[in-house]
Amino acid sequence: MNVFKFGGASVNSAEGVQNFYKIVQSYKEESLIVVSAMGKTTNALEQIVDHFFHKENDLVQKQFEEVKAYHFEIVEVLSFNNKAGSIEKIENLFNELNTYLQKPASLNYEFEYDQIVAYGELISTTIISEYLREKGVKNKWIDIRRYLKTNDNFGEAKVDWELSRKLIPTAFTFNDTFIYLTQGFIGGTTSNLTTTLGREGSDYTAAILANILDAEEVSILKDVPGIMNADPKWIPDAKQLKRISYQEAIELAFFGAKVIHPKTIQPIREKNIPMFVRSFIDFNKQGTMVSNAPIEKSVKMPIFIQKKNQILISIRPKNYSFVIEENLCSIFEIIAKHKPKVNLTQNSAISFSLCIDNSKNIDSLIKEFKIDYEVRYNNKLELITIRHYDDDSIKQMTEGRNTLLEQKSRDTAQYVLECNS
């Protein structure tokens, strides 16, 4: 049995869904297919959450109608013969969401986020399952929330592995079909409240299912031919990596490479399941293989990762005491409290710096730091990470640019840079 995960870009239009069908119908072995929300639906639903939470009812309804219209335009082009039954299932999901949006929001933003945003995956998989059935491809739609169980850490729930290991095999038996279709990114608590696994968590779902069901391999279908040594939108002549190790994939994900979700690798590494990152446009090409096979250093090429919209915060104790164990403990307690996405840290005798994603928690973080520390910060920065760097790759990224902070290890160089105007 193989697990396939299709990202939102692969099913962002009727043509995308039709291409999905061509791939699936050509594959005759047992398959478990994980699908994300269509196109930019998650972004649109996130806007609905913001409006809903702040009681902006007119904007909630406007955005809801836009999301609904987008999906039904796709349905219309797909031209279901069994239109009534298929559309009723899709309508029911939109009605459920609309009913939820008529209620007052709770005081827990992350809870509301999970209950609303999850409909992106539920709707996309319903449309695709119905279309496959329409085209004669027998498949079984599974509501993953009933089987992939998590805690109630809404927004980034942790998987209850023990319970999920018991429930998931009861859903994916392959007794009555050889194709299952389910949702990425979402799960459910033991009290059947919807949770999400963290942004871009559909890859992680595929890895969880592969682990529990002992899949032979996992394929992640993207809009690129494989894992590249840089984002082609940033560096047009980026080259494809044919093969990387689990360890390298974890490093790339940690530093912010967008192709693989950071949590994806551990479940497949545990069972030594190979993963292929390949193009949904040219599916028959192997793409990039991620496995336990080490890569010779002589064939490694520099890999570039760019993170935009960064803030560099530098703090110094007001009493000029050393930044050692006691101060570091209080600093990391403050960081843990405000939960910024920390991408780099560095400290000297009397200062500590951290490079973080710009987010809504930054002001409160800086305010608390100012109680005991002198604080300086710069925004509108970018963080460049170079794996397997050499002199030429460093020069390529930093020449002619103002570097605010740099850090090197044996395999990785990082630079916090002012953005080019």
* Residue 282 confidence class, pLDDT cut points 50, 70, 90: confident
222-226 mean pLDDT: 87
Least confident window among 64-78, 177-191, 345-359: 345-359
The answer to whether residue 359 scores a pLDDT higher than 70 is yes
Q: Where are the alpha helices (DSSP H) in 79-194?
A: 83-101, 109-117, 119-134, 161-171
- Specify the pLDDT at position 319: 80
What is the per-residue pLDDT for 159?
Answer: 97
CA gap 130, 117 in Å, rounded: 21
- Taking phi over 0 as left and psi of -120 to 50 as alpha, with beta for the rest, 402 belongs to beta
pLDDT at 286 over 60: yes
CB atoms within 10 A of CB 26: 9
Q: Which helix (H) or strand (E) holds 379?
A: strand 373-387
**Res. 220: pLDDT tops 80:** yes
Q: What is the distance between the terminal CA atoms of the chain, rounded to a whole angstrom?
A: 50
Residue 260: band (very low, low, confident or very high) from pLDDT cuts 50, 70, 90: confident
| 40-98: pLDDT as tens digits | 999 999 999 999 999 999 999 999 999 999 999 999 999 877 666 888 999 999 999 99
Determine the average pLDDT of the residues in 9-30.
92
Q: Look at 416 and 27; give whichever has higher pLDDT.
A: 416
pLDDT tens digits, 106-144: 999 999 999 999 999 999 999 999 999 999 999 999 999
Instruction: Report the C-alpha gap between 367 and 350 in whole angstroms.
Output: 20
Residue type, 417: L
Q: pLDDT confidence of 162, banded at 50, 70, 90?
A: very high
Q: Is 347's pLDDT higher than 60?
A: yes
* Sheet with 303-317, side-by-side order of all strands: 342-347, 352-357, 303-317, 373-387, 412-418, 403-408
* CA 133 vs CA 9, 15, 75, 303, 351: distances in Å: 22, 17, 14, 42, 62
Whole-model pTM?
Answer: 0.87
How many CB atoms are closer than 10 A to CB 144?
25
CA distance 19 to 98: 30
Question: Which residues are CB-contacts of 366 (< 8 A; sequence separation ≥ 6)?
Answer: 313, 375, 377
Q: Which of 156-170, 228-242, 295-309, 346-360 has the highest mean pLDDT?
A: 156-170
Q: Which domains does the chain have, with CATH numbers?
A: 2-215 (3.40.1160.10), 303-418 (3.30.2130.10)
In sequence order, what E strands does 144-232 have? 179-183, 186-188, 194-196, 217-222
Q: What is the pLDDT of residue 421?
A: 61
Q: What is the mean pLDDT of the chain?
A: 92
Is residue 322 within 8 Å of residue 349, measured between CB atoms? yes
- The phi-psi region of residue 323 (left if phi > 0; otherwise alpha if psi is between -120 and 50; otherwise beta) is beta
Which residue from 199, 256, 279 is spatially nearest to 37, judged by alpha carbons? 199
Query: Region 3-26: what's the mean pLDDT?
Result: 94
Q: What whole-number distance in Å separates Cα of residue 396 and Cα of residue 407? A: 16
Quick one: how far is CA 263 from the chain centroid? 9
Q: Is the pLDDT of residue 279 over 50?
A: yes
**Residue scoring higher pLDDT (323 or 345):** 345
Task: Please give the Cα distance from 74 to 257 (Å, whole number).
Answer: 30
- What pLDDT score does 81 carry? 74
Directed axis angle between helix 57-78 and helix 119-134, to 10°?
20
Question: Percent of the chain having pLDDT more than 90?
Answer: 78
d(CA 206, CA 36): 11
**Tens digit of each residue's pLDDT (9 = 90 or more) over 290-338:** 998 766 554 579 999 999 999 999 999 888 777 777 778 889 999 999 9
The pLDDT of residue 153 is: 95
166-193 mean pLDDT: 96
Please say whether the beta carbons of 412 and 383 come within 8 A.
no
Q: Distance between CA atoms of 61 and 352, rounded to whole angstroms? A: 46
List the single range of 174-188, 211-225, 310-324 with lowest mean pLDDT.
310-324
> Is 367 a residue whose pLDDT tops 50?
yes
The pLDDT value recorded for residue 82 is 67
The rounded distance, in Å, linking the Cα atoms of 352 and 276 is 40
Lowest mean pLDDT among 174-178, 257-261, 286-290, 402-406: 257-261
Closest CA to 404 of 307, 305, 302, 311: 311
